[in-house]
Structure 1
């Protein structure tokens, strides 16, 4: 087996589609803002978003409506060349929950924000 992509099940598909396509500028390789599924090329792998209700219907599980149930269960990590430059390019588009800072114990410089569904996103570079 090999990992082909990460799929995030979202409650607000259109908003998340626009976030990954327009704000983070990932090329969409499949789907559009109305398809309820889209796949984005992130370099070495794909990131996809899928309407959570549709996925849960397919696996015959009830749809949970509690908005915070997925917070901090998944983190998506993106390596960047320069955390500060990436932060500067995104800070007018996203609400960062941590400013760029060094985590010497981890060997990286990091900053964090969330997508519209609440998924935690980290940008980092090795120091």
Structure 2
């Protein structure tokens, strides 16, 4: 398992995009200035910071519809076999909120909370960028 990213839920995607790209100088992965998602990479290291439009993610996890609920971030972990890992962690007491399910043609995901209520996304990459 490896840390893939720390994702920040934002309501003003374009402003946050400019902050991370222009102000902080991080490198955007795709140039999706309008969202709903963009990953930014530092000049060194494998994990990055990603912005996620809150409304787009709320289509998957309805509790994100309420910004006042306090969810501002998401820890993302990449695993090799999502189904096997989810079976393993649910056997150890974890409760899945969503998934495993296809998110895009390149990725399957599952979501859960840690004991403090922080959101965690588990990713299985089906296709890698060429």
Please, what TM-score do these two structures have when normalized by structure 2? 0.48
